[in-house]
Structure 1
């Protein structure tokens, strides 16, 4: 059910003239040696270098439902597929999407079979427990799931990470809570280079972000456009620019990840919004460059850092 098929896929907007889909299908259908480093997408394993420009922490599970309330002249799936095609045309090649339910995983599986964008699912342990063979590329841990039994939960997550060789994505509402969750997981033996934390506004506590980075874990600025359209155009995405630029100057670019955080269909361009996923690629890098961030650092945040975190180095057992 997770594979791309000739019957359901006829190409995508933004493909290069020499991008032969039939040939790509043939290549993808060849057995992949899981002893090689790889990233687990919704369509199966790919080489880390095939990811390209990657956005992390995109709440696609929420967005699919929000399209139900939007009169876009298309089904929610088709509307979101159009947004993915728009993002592909702008240069997005991979998205780490949040999948908090089996239904959300099915929705993203449908999209993955029709989009040129590689989709990597970050899902909670419960989804993996329901289907041991589901194609999850990262373990998602909402901070609320730690709860009072944080030590027990942390031990379970670390054990699952080791068993599946998967990275862990922690979502928290505040920088301090994110820092504390990272500390708990690392104390229970999670390798720092398998962890990234996000879901919060790091500009509210830059010290917490620095503490996470200095622990060896990574920080995701995955809400760059979450506030649209509430904020004035000049401020959209801008609250994080100075913070990210300062972290880059401190030589932390390799530990930073980026994502739009858009969680409402009307904020996508196909829903009548001004930004969409493409804005993170088309607009935000320019804002960073105006703050003195070099293109090589932006490449680290959008390409090298996510590829490193998502890489599985051994066959999953």
Structure 2
């Protein structure tokens, strides 16, 4: 079984004493729960122990609303997930969030098995996805039950590290509104961060309006898939509210090429938002992952997109923020 305590991060070709590597870590899964921490499926860790992190991926899931017609979305092989994560580790990766909630076919036991086998911190989510998936489970319109469902997960044996909700293309259904409000209420109560699915990058402001109305600060929210619409004015308006901007379609050519994505990240950073930017790949199909015979795989962001960033004008400090420093802050649970 892989033990993450036996490994250290490598650098990315920086000069001299520069490194993307965080300082010496404490033993994992032994963080002080009264202080900010990140919850993995094996237990809590210090935020500084997170290392290079991809904050929005799909490791092990079976979203029935999709796989009934498109089996490509069924990621059900623990052995292949381990193989893909080992490649991610070799490329420098140290942590990954599986953004699959229960209605998207989440497998907590399987994620824990994977986390015990590979040298990568695995983080799960709780909550509901967008309408298509959320309505496959009961109580989709019962906000109190949804809150209790999230709290039960947080108190469970295998704990999630984030709360999630989703919205549909250019609309928020009543089901999605209830899930969003439940997520925000529990986040306010527990100090958990929230990550969202914003279909094709739409409804970002409306998502923030909902959670703010429940008392949750935008700075505790990661708005997903915003790189589906690379409009600077739109992205700037969201960033000005203090939320995290998730550029999580890296390497997915079907959702746009990488160079404009890298250029927009640099433009936003130069505009003063470098501390609110996150990058990931959101690989969700067999055909996305090398271990399943597809590509580009989870190594793409670290081996290729970092080069795109530097060619777009990003310096090493910005790349480190995107990969290490920002995820450590965005994923931190802030105890009440």
Q: Does 1:237 align with 2:258?
A: yes
TM-score normalised by L of structure 2? 0.76
Shift, 1:265, TM fit: 1.9
Q: 1:274 to 1:190 in 2, by over 3 A?
A: same
Alignment partner, residue 54 of structure 1: 53
Question: Which one scores higher on RCO, CA 8 angstroms, separation ≥ 6?
Answer: 1
Secondary structure at the aligned position of 2:101 is classed as coil
Instruction: Structure 2: give runs of 5+ residues left out of the alignment.
Output: 10-25, 129-145
2:110 alignment partner, one of 100, 107, 112: 107
Cα distance in 2 between the residues matched to 1:151 and 1:271: 36
Judge conservation of contact 1:64–1:76 (CA < 8 Å) in 2. no
Give the alignment's TM-score, normalised by structure 1. 0.80
Conservation of the 8 A alpha-carbon contact between 2:200 and 2:226: yes
The CA distance in 1 between the partners of 2:177 and 2:236, in whole Å, is 24
Q: Per the alignment, in what secondary structure is the counterpart of residue 174 of structure 1?
A: helix
Contact 1:146 1:153 in 2 (8 A): no
Q: Name the residue aligned to 2:132.
A: none
Aligned 8 A contact 1:175 1:205 in 2: no
Counterparts of residues 54-133 of structure 1 (less than 5 Å): 54-62=53-61, 76-101=77-102, 103-124=106-127, 126=146, 128-129=150-151, 131=153, 132-133=155-156
Hey, what does 2:16 align to over in structure 1? Answer: none
Aligned residue for 2:183?
157
How far apart, in 1, do the equivalents of 2:325 and 2:192 lie?
17
Q: Give the conservation status (yes or no) of the 8 Å contact 1:196–1:217.
A: yes
Tell me if structure 2 keeps the 8 A contact 1:226–1:263.
no
Which residue of the other structure, out of 118, 139, 143, is the alignment partner of 2:167?
A: 143
Q: Distance in 2 between matches of 1:87 and 1:307?
A: 18
Query: Aligned pair in 2 of structure 1 residues 16, 185: CA closer, same or farther (>3 Å)?
Result: closer
CA contact (8 A) 2:55 2:96 kept: yes
Which whole-Å deviations, capped at 9, do the CAs of 1:209-236 have from their partners, x for residues lacking one? 2122110111100111233xx58xxx74
Report whether the alignment pairs 1:170 with 2:192: no
Measure how far apart 1:129 and its partner are: 5.0
- 1:257 corresponds, among 278, 287, 302, to 278
The equivalent of 2:218 in structure 1 is 192
Between the aligned partners of 1:243 and 1:269, the Cα distance in structure 2 is 27
CA contact (8 A) 1:63 1:265 kept: no
CA RMSD of aligned residues (A): 3.0
Q: Is the 8 A contact 2:274 2:318 kept in 1?
A: yes
Q: Is the 8 A contact 2:166 2:180 kept in 1?
A: no
Q: 1:296 aligns with which of 305, 317, 336?
A: 317
CA–CA separation in structure 2 for the residues paired with 1:223 and 1:190: 26
Distance in 2 between residues matched to 1:107 and 1:307, nearest whole Å:
24
* Cα pair 1:137 1:310 within 8 Å, conserved: yes
Query: Which has the larger displacement, 112-121 or 173-182?
Result: 173-182
Q: Give the count of matched residue pairs.
A: 287
Shift of 1:118: 0.5
- Give the C-alpha shift of residue 267 in structure 1: 2.4
SS in 1 for 2:242: coil
Q: Is the 8 A contact 2:259 2:308 kept in 1?
A: yes
Give the counterpart of 2:239 among 213, 216, 219. 213
Could you say which residue in structure 1 is the equivalent of 2:20? none
- For structure 1, the residue ranges without an aligned partner over 5 or more in a row are 1-8, 18-25
State whether residues 2 and 119 of structure 2, in contact with CA within 8 Å, keep that contact through their aligned partners in structure 1: no
Q: Deviations over 1:107-162 (max 9, x none)?
A: 21221111111111122165535543241100011114952366655442222002
Tell me, yes or no, if the aligned pair for 2:53 and 2:93 is still in contact at 8 Å.
Answer: yes
